Amino acid sequence: MENKPALTPEESLHIISSMIDNVQKRYSDNGFLYLLWGWVVFFCGIAQFILWHFFHNQNHYLVWSVLWVVLIFEIFYLRKKRVDSNVRSYTGNIIKYVWLSFVLLLMVIFISLSHLDLSIFQTLIVPVMLAMYGLPVFLSGIILRFKPLIFGGIACWILSLIAGYVSYDYQLLFIPAAMVIAWILPGFILKKKFGESSKARIMTD
């Protein structure tokens, strides 16, 4: 690009829109973390259901310990991505705090509910988790202007409403179902979009 001084207003508007579009395409999410978390939580949910429903294992909830490993991996992954990245976006920053507040809220609610009787705890935990989970997914969709995540968030709230009428055993299957709708599908769509924009960029570079 040269520094052409005499621009028409149309040319100026074209430069502005093309640069903003360029940034959005270059720094679109590759969907990796959505797919990682989606699949991990999906398999944890299925494993918990199998352990509880078929084997009546009292320690079925321990499968969720795997999430700590994924969380540590994510911290290192994001740190490396931050170091390698040569741009910081506003949306990335807002989304980071949306998810951070979700994780903190999740801990607070979990600790508060753990004082309840086991039967009440088991009745409430899945609907509450799904209702809360819908919030960051929905907000991420709004911030990124990405409809699959908006629908994913709404789907979590619908699943939460239905889960209230289902026994604990089958409530456990709502978590993997929410993962497929709210993370795995949007993750695949993001991955596909990222692949397409990278390919288009290579062709235009």
Residues at the contact surface with another protein, assessed by CB under 8 A: 1-5, 7, 9-13, 15-16, 19-20, 22-24, 26-27, 83, 86-90, 93
Cβ contact 17:166 at 8 Å:
no
Question: At closest approach, how far in Å is the CB of 69 from another protein?
Answer: 28
Of residues 23 and 100, the one with the C-beta less far from another protein: 23
Question: At closest approach, how far in Å is the CB of 15 from another protein?
Answer: 5
Question: At closest approach, how far in Å is the CB of 157 from another protein?
Answer: 31
Of residues 59 and 204, the one with the C-beta less far from another protein: 204
CA-based Rg of the chain, rounded to a whole angstrom?
Answer: 21
Question: At closest approach, how far in Å is the CB of 89 from another protein?
Answer: 5
Cβ contact 121:114 at 8 Å:
yes
180-to-18, 35, 116, 130 alpha-carbon distances in Å: 34, 9, 30, 13
Of residues 29 and 157, the one with the C-beta less far from another protein: 29
Separation CA 105–CA 95 (nearest Å): 15
Question: At closest approach, how far in Å is the CB of 202 from another protein?
Answer: 12
Cβ contact 109:132 at 8 Å:
yes
> How many Cα atoms are found within 13 Å in the side-chain-facing hemisphere of 44?
20
Of residues 20 and 71, the one with the C-beta less far from another protein: 20
Cβ burial, residue 28 (10 Å; 0-12/13-18/19+): middle
Of residues 117 and 205, the one with the C-beta less far from another protein: 205
